Amino acid sequence: MENFWEMEIVRTAANFSVVVLCIVLFLAIFEIVTKYKNWEEIKKGNVAVAMATGGKMLGIANIFRFSIQDHDSLFAMIGWGTIGFVLLLFAYFMFEFLTPRFNVDKEIENDNRAVGFISFIISIGLSFVIGASISS
């Protein structure tokens, strides 16, 4: 059984499957904490929500890229990826807190593409910082 996990195709399939499930789970958590409904807004053509959601997805995937690259076991990869997600979620709350002149969620819900784009960039940019931090 030990040789089974050493096969590159098995490791790749396991990493892929786990990361896809984590992205779905973490996006569900983001859905809970945002004041708008991501997929309903995207269905209506809200580009700002699409950019913000896409940034979250890409940010989570990037964090897991670092986690896969630097951690050998599947459990370590999941653990560090989850820690990275929590930091990304914290960054989301900080973005809202640091913009007292307007409500980020409300602006994104109203299709303010500038705010959606900044949200996208924050998620991607910080995912590199978080990823580098969780690397061993």
| Tens of each residue's pLDDT in the chain, 136 residues | 567 656 888 888 989 999 999 999 999 999 999 989 999 999 999 999 999 999 999 999 999 999 999 888 889 999 999 999 999 999 999 998 998 889 999 999 999 999 999 999 999 999 999 999 988 6
Residue 72 confidence (pLDDT): 80
User: What gap in Å lies between CA 49 and CA 40, rounded to an integer?
Assistant: 10
- Residue 69: which domain range? 2-134
- Print burial letters for 60-92: b (CB count within 10 Å at least 16), e (below 16): bebbbbbbbeebeeeeebbebbbebbebbbebb
Q: Which two tokens stand for residue 56?
A: 């979250």
- pTM of the predicted model over 0.85: yes
- Residues in Cβ contact with 106 at an 8 Å cutoff, skipping those fewer than 6 apart: 35
Residue 5 confidence (pLDDT): 57
A 10 A CB-CB count for 103 gives: 14
Tally of domains in the chain: 1
Residue 135 confidence (pLDDT): 82
